[in-house]
């Protein structure tokens, strides 16, 4: 029984590693070529496995795309958590908001890859409305977190009481998404996008100090 249990665990680990291997191959293709024309065969080639194996783990391209996006969301969450930790313990509302939004902007190889893949996903959704119901929950969760931090900032007197936290959070997210697109499109650099972000945060919170901006 003990050996059987160990075998079952090993099998589950092996299956998860295979699924991860295939999903990561799709993410690599998405980062360079987009998702609209990618095929299961191309993913199999990129992953170094057979087409039959890809079809065994993912019966449809949609299932593979959604699994890969969930993994991408986990990677983005880990990046945001790391940036918040680096802002210093315990992070204050302003430093947490600054760290989160700064981590999302495409300013380095990791964030540019993540931004390109999400952009590829949104393009895919435009051509396949059936994917809309499976939209990644990351933006909604992020907006909720930002709104919570803004309410805490209001309680501390750092943000004016006339501000609607939910509306401000939505506006910040829209701005960062737009800035990310402008960086990918070559309109501005990642550093320039950060300057725009910090300008708007200064308008919201007041001029930053080294201790308050998380930098």
pLDDT at 75 over 70: yes
What is the band of 215 on the pLDDT scale with cuts at 50, 70, 90?
very low
Sequence-distant (6+) residues with CB within 8 A of 87 are 95, 96, 98, 99, 214
pLDDT at 197 over 70: yes
Tell me what the mean pLDDT of segment 96-108 comes to: 96
pTM to 2 decimal places: 0.83
* Tokens at 184, concatenated: 């990918």
pLDDT at 211 over 60: no
pLDDT tens, residue by residue, 25-53: 999 999 999 988 889 999 999 999 999 99
CB count, 10 Å around CB of 67? Answer: 17
What is the band of 9 on the pLDDT scale with cuts at 50, 70, 90?
low
- How far is Cα 151 from Cα 172, in angstroms, rounded to an integer? 14
Q: What is the pLDDT of residue 37?
A: 81
Tell me what the mean pLDDT of segment 4-15 comes to: 61
* Range of weakest confidence among 2-11, 21-30, 140-149, 162-171: 2-11
């Amino acid at each position: 029984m003990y050996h059987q249990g160990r075998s079952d665990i090993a099998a589950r680990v092996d299956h998860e590693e295979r699924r991860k291997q295939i999903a990561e191959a799709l993410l690599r293709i998405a980062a360079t070529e987009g998702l609209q024309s990618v095929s299961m065969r191309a993913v199999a080639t990129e992953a170094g496995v057979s087409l039959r194996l890809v079809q065994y783990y993912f019966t449809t391209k949609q299932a593979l795309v959604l699994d890969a996006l969930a993994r991408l969301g986990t990677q983005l969450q880990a990046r945001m958590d790391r940036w918040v930790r680096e802002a210093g313990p315990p992070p204050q509302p302003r430093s947490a908001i600054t760290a989160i939004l700064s981590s999302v902007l495409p300013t380095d190889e990791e964030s540019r890859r993540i931004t390109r893949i999400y952009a590829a996903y949104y393009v895919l959704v435009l051509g396949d409305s059936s994917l809309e119901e499976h939209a990644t929950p990351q933006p909604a969760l992020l907006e909720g977190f930002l709104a919570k931090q803004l309410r805490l900032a209001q309680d501390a007197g750092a943000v004016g009481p006339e501000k609607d936290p939910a509306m401000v959070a939505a506006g910040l997210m829209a701005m960062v998404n737009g800035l990310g697109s402008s960086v990918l499109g070559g309109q501005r650099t990642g550093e320039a996008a950060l300057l725009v972000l910090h300008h708007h945060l200064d308008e919201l919170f007041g001029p930053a100090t080294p201790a308050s901006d998380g930098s």
